[in-house]
Amino acid sequence: MVSVFRGNNYIEAQLLTGLLQQHGINAFLQGAALQGGLGELPAVGYLSIMVDKANMDDAQALLAAYEQGELSLDESDVE
């Protein structure tokens, strides 16, 4: 597996992991269990989204679209 995202915002990392999974990319959020130990650990870049190497390009393209604001919901997406 390779890392396609590194950061320290747990909520965003969970959101992006779910986004990748919804698009059929097997993604794993590494470092999520460290959330409780932050008082003892440096709080920079401890979260990493890991994907299979074969899915790396697709995952990076999807994350780039997210960062550029190309992904949005419209009224038909909300129940």
How many domains does the chain divide into?
1
pLDDT of residue 9: 86
Three-class DSSP labels, the chain? CEEEEEECCHHHHHHHHHHHHHCCCCEEEECHHHHHHCCCCCCCCCEEEEECHHHHHHHHHHHHHHHCCCCCCCHHHCC
Query: Is 23 a domain residue?
Result: yes
CATH number of the domain encompassing residue 18: 3.30.70.1530
C-alpha closest to that of 51 among 9, 23, 10, 11: 23
Angle CA 29–3–62, to nearest 5? 85
pLDDT of residue 77: 60
Query: Is 50 a domain residue?
Result: yes
Domain membership of residue 9 as a residue range = 2-70
Return per-residue pLDDT of the chain as tens, 79 residues: 999 999 888 889 999 999 999 999 999 999 876 655 555 555 555 899 999 999 999 999 999 999 998 887 666 666 5
